[in-house]
Amino acid sequence: MTQELTTLMETPSQTGGPYVHIGCIPSFTGITSIYPVDLGVSPIEDGAAGEIVTITGEVIDGTGWALRDAMLESWQADAAGLYPGQPGADPKVNGFCRFAADKETGKFTLRTVKPGRTPMRYGGTQAPHISVWIVARGINIGLSTRIYFEDEDNDSDPLLARIEQRQRVSTLIARKTGDGQYTFNIVLQGDGETVFLDL
């Protein structure tokens, strides 16, 4: 016998299910009398410093079908690379957004500011990125990934550098399609499967 560890095990995840929107973005389901406004409507307010970008995409399953019931959350730093709550962070950036795949088309849209580079604990920096968390019916534990930008310097990013199969790096990089416009698809399974993270 040994002494007992006093640490606890994390509560197990379960799928958010098909009605995750009721709990997280109720107005999406027509429930508008409970909260005046959904949480996480926008990660920025008017006047946020930096380049405004719009990222559109789909969450695609192993058959090539775009999910119509996915719910996504994003978390990011401001244009200077400061996270909300850090001293000097842009008060117009709350950094958090909830957005859903469209019920009819499966397309999602995230409008935000492009984040700055952020520091690593032991030196060096991370390339600008937005953390994304995806939940849906059939996803047993929320999937984490990141959106990087193809027009930024991603070469020295420590996370991207850990991806052994270099052709998979592109699954984390949003493609520029116009001024301030990017495309980022999330592929859950199969050809071009997105690199999902365990950090």
Partner 1 sequence: MDHGPLIPRNRAAHPPAYDVDYKTAVPRSPRWPLLSMESTISEETGPTFGHGILGKHDNNLIVNYTQGEGLAVGERIRVHGRVLDENARPVPNTLVEIWQANAGGRYRHVKDNYFAPLDPNFGGCGRTITDDNGFYEFLTIRPGAYPWPNRANDWRPMHIHFSIFGHAFGQRLISQMYFQGDPLIDLCPIAATIKSRSQLDRLVAPLDMQGSRPMDYLAYKFDIVLRGNRQTMFENKLEGM
Nearest to 115 by CA among 93, 139, 86: 93
Q: Rounded to whole angstroms, what are the CA distances from 99 to 25, 53, 96?
A: 8, 15, 10
114 interacts with partner 1 by CB under 8 A = no
172, 199 Cβ separation under 8 angstroms:
no
188 interacts with partner 1 by CB under 8 A = yes
Q: Using CB under 8 A, which of the segments 46-54, 105-113, 176-184, 186-194 binds partner 1? A: 186-194
Handedness of CA 154, 158, 164, 169 (dihedral sign): negative
Q: Exactly one of 56, 133, 170, 175 binds partner 1 (CB under 8 A); which one? A: 133
Q: Using CB under 8 A, which of the segments 106-114, 127-135, 147-155, 176-184 binds partner 1? A: 127-135
Helix (H, G, I), strand (E, B) or coil at 169: helix
Nearer CB in complex with partner 1: 91/177: 91
Residues 191 and 139: their CA atoms lie apart, in Å, by: 18
Q: In terms of C-beta density within 10 A (0-12 exposed, 13-18 middle, 19 or more buried), how is residue 59 classed?
A: buried
Instruction: Report the site for partner 1 in 54-113 (rule: CB under 8 A).
Output: 61-63, 65, 67, 69, 73, 75-77, 83-86, 94-96
DSSP E strand boundaries for 27-68: 52-60
Nearer CB in complex with partner 1: 5/178: 5
163 interacts with partner 1 by CB under 8 A = yes
Least distance between partner 1 and beta carbon 144 (Å):
8
Least distance between partner 1 and beta carbon 51 (Å):
19
156 interacts with partner 1 by CB under 8 A = no
166 interacts with partner 1 by CB under 8 A = no
Dihedral pair phi/psi, residue 158, rounded to 5°: -65, -30
Nearer CB in complex with partner 1: 88/123: 123
Least distance between partner 1 and beta carbon 27 (Å):
11
